[in-house]
Every structure is written in C-alpha cells, then in structure tokens.
C-alpha cells in the first residue's frame, strides 16, 4: 500500500462524498476510486460500504483507521523531514464564530501564502461544538474563547479579547452604568453554546436571572441589524465584531461598572493528537500572529 492510497482513505473517512472530496483536493473521482480499490485489494477485503454515491466506513475500515492513522502521520512527518519539497499537507481547523469570521481568515491567508503546498479545511462552530469535535478527533485543532478543563484536551493561550456592551442609543455612549440599570432593555444574545454568551452570563453571576433576554441568534448580522434599527435593543459582543459600525457612529459602547468582560483565546487539540511538522509549523504561526493582534 502507498502513502497516497492511505491519504485518500483517511480523507474519505471524514467526507464520504467522492465528488466533494475530488473537488476539494483537486483530483479526479476515478483516481480516488481506483486508489481505494487498490488499497482494499491489498487488504483482501472492503473498507467501505457503497451506499448510493457515498462510501461509508464499515466495521473493518474503522478498525483499520484506528490501528494505522498515528503511524501514517509519523510516516508523513518523516517523509517531510527527508524530502526537499516544501511543507505540504491538509489541516482541519474549526474556529468559534467571532474568531472564524473576524480574525482567523487573515491568519489562514498569510500561512497559505508562505506555504503554498498546504491546504486548510476551515469551519465555524460554537465553542461547545468545537470542544466535542476535538474529543471526537474529527478536527486537528480548534480556536475558541471559552475555558475548558477537559482532561483529554491540550490548551494553549493565544491572547485576549474584549467583550463590550453595544447599543445604537447614543445617549448611553458617554455614561458608566451598573448592569442592573440596563435590565429594562431588550437583550439579544448569541445562541446557547456560544463562548460570548457563556462568558457574559457567567460574569453577571446570579443577576443574570434578571436579564430581559428578548431574542437569541446564531449570526452577527441579524443582531447588528436589530441594534441599528431599535434603540431599546442591547447586546454583548466582541469589540472586533462591531468595530466598523462604531467607527461610522452607528453603534456605541456602553461602559459597565465593576464587570470585567475580557476573555482569553485558546488553541485546543486532543492530547493524543500526533503533532506533524505541518501542525507544529501552523501552531507557531498562529501564536506569532496573535502576538500582533
């Protein structure tokens, strides 16, 4: 069996749609199918069930992946060390919504410019979902803004981020207020599982029960639109999310007394994750980038 056959096998265990995978890694569907058939022939049994247009990993395939994946990564790492080719490979990275939409795109772009033979499969989920994906081993790393003490997860602090209270009511912009003075407002927050929401509510302690939680949303644009159109609406978001609107004078920060809404930003990965040369190189790039953030 070849490293290329194994590489395509592991890709398919994550994305059973051959057509989608072919488009993503720029290879023909027939080449993928031939490689998998060749691997199965060498092992003398199928690793996938053919269901419709999908290749679904069967029980023997799951066992094969479990027994070989770490060794495959070690071989790939050794190959990179002994070849003159530039850094290559594919990383699967999932970021929380604030980071994924406003901070990580430039970091990804800069890395891919420096290492054109690499690829990054990126996704955006809320922080709770990312932690579960790390535990399940379905992604290489996650970028989040909540604390976790999960024993199977390694955590590296990248930097800090500031959450602020935001409104379109300009009369609140130059005031310093206690949080209970804002309880009569219609509060709109991110969905449950969001790091922004969790940190904000935890900072309020028992007083969070008195908050008039009017609506909740997954996306930022819906929240910002409601803020701009309704002066009695208020929310808590990362300053990076509303920076442009604040500079245009459309939204304003409300200063809070005795509440600290600064949060830490973390890189997470499974403690059993094999750290390839590509993984380690991106980790260093990530940490360096956040020093400038």
Task: Write the pLDDT tens digit of every residue in 204-241.
Answer: 888 888 888 999 988 889 999 999 999 999 999 999 89
Percent over 90 (pLDDT), the chain: 48
CB-based contacts of 202, cutoff 8 Å, min separation 6: 208
Single pTM value for the model: 0.67
Does residue 138 contact residue 13 with C-beta atoms inside 8 Å?
no
Torsion of the alpha carbons at 175, 181, 184 and 186, rounded to the nearest 10: 50
- Bridge pairing between strands 153-167 and 262-270: antiparallel
Q: Enter the CATH code of domain 1-84.
A: 1.10.10.10
8-state DSSP, 17: B
Kindly state the tokens that stand for 145: 């803004």
Cα separation, 34 vs 39, in Å, equals: 9
Domain boundaries, the chain: 1-84, 160-262
8-state DSSP, 215: E
Task: Write the pLDDT tens digit of every residue in 170-179.
Answer: 999 878 999 9
The CA-CA-CA angle for residues 48, 53, 55, to 5°, reads 15
8-state DSSP, 275: -
At residue 142, the pLDDT reads 97
CATH architecture of structural domain 160-262: 3-Layer(aba) Sandwich (3.40)
């Amino acid at each position: 069996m070849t490293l290329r056959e194994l590489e395509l096998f592991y890709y398919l265990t994550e994305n059973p749609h051959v057509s989608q995978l072919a488009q993503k890694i720029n290879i023909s569907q027939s080449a993928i199918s031939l490689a998998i058939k060749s691997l199965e022939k060498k092992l003398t049994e199928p690793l996938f069930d053919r269901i419709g247009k999908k290749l679904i990993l069967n029980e023997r395939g799951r066992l094969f992946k479990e027994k070989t994946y770490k060794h495959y990564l070690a071989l790939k790492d050794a190959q990179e060390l002994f070849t003159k080719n530039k850094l290559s490979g594919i990383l699967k990275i999932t970021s929380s919504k604030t980071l994924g939409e406003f901070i990580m795109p430039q970091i990804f772009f800069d890395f891919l410019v420096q290492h054109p033979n690499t690829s990054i499969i990126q996704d955006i989920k809320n922080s709770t979902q990312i932690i579960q994906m790390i535990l399940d081993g379905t992604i290489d790393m996650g970028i989040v803004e909540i604390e976790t003490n999960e024993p199977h997860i390694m955590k590296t602090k990248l930097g800090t981020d500031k959450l602020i209270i935001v409104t379109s009511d300009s009369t609140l912009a130059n005031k310093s207020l206690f949080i209970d003075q804002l309880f009569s407002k219609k509060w709109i927050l991110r969905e449950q599982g969001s790091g922004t929401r969790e940190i904000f509510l935890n900072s309020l302690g028992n007083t969070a029960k008195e908050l008039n939680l009017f609506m909740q949303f997954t996306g930022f644009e819906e929240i910002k639109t409601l803020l701009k159109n309704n002066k009695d609406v208020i929310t808590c978001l990362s300053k990076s999310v509303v920076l442009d609107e604040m500079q245009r004078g459309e939204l304003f920060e409300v200063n809070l007394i005795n509440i600290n809404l600064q949060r830490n930003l973390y890189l997470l990965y499974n403690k059993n994750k094999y750290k390839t040369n590509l993984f380690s190189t991106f980790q260093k790039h990530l940490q360096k980038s956040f020093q400038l953030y």
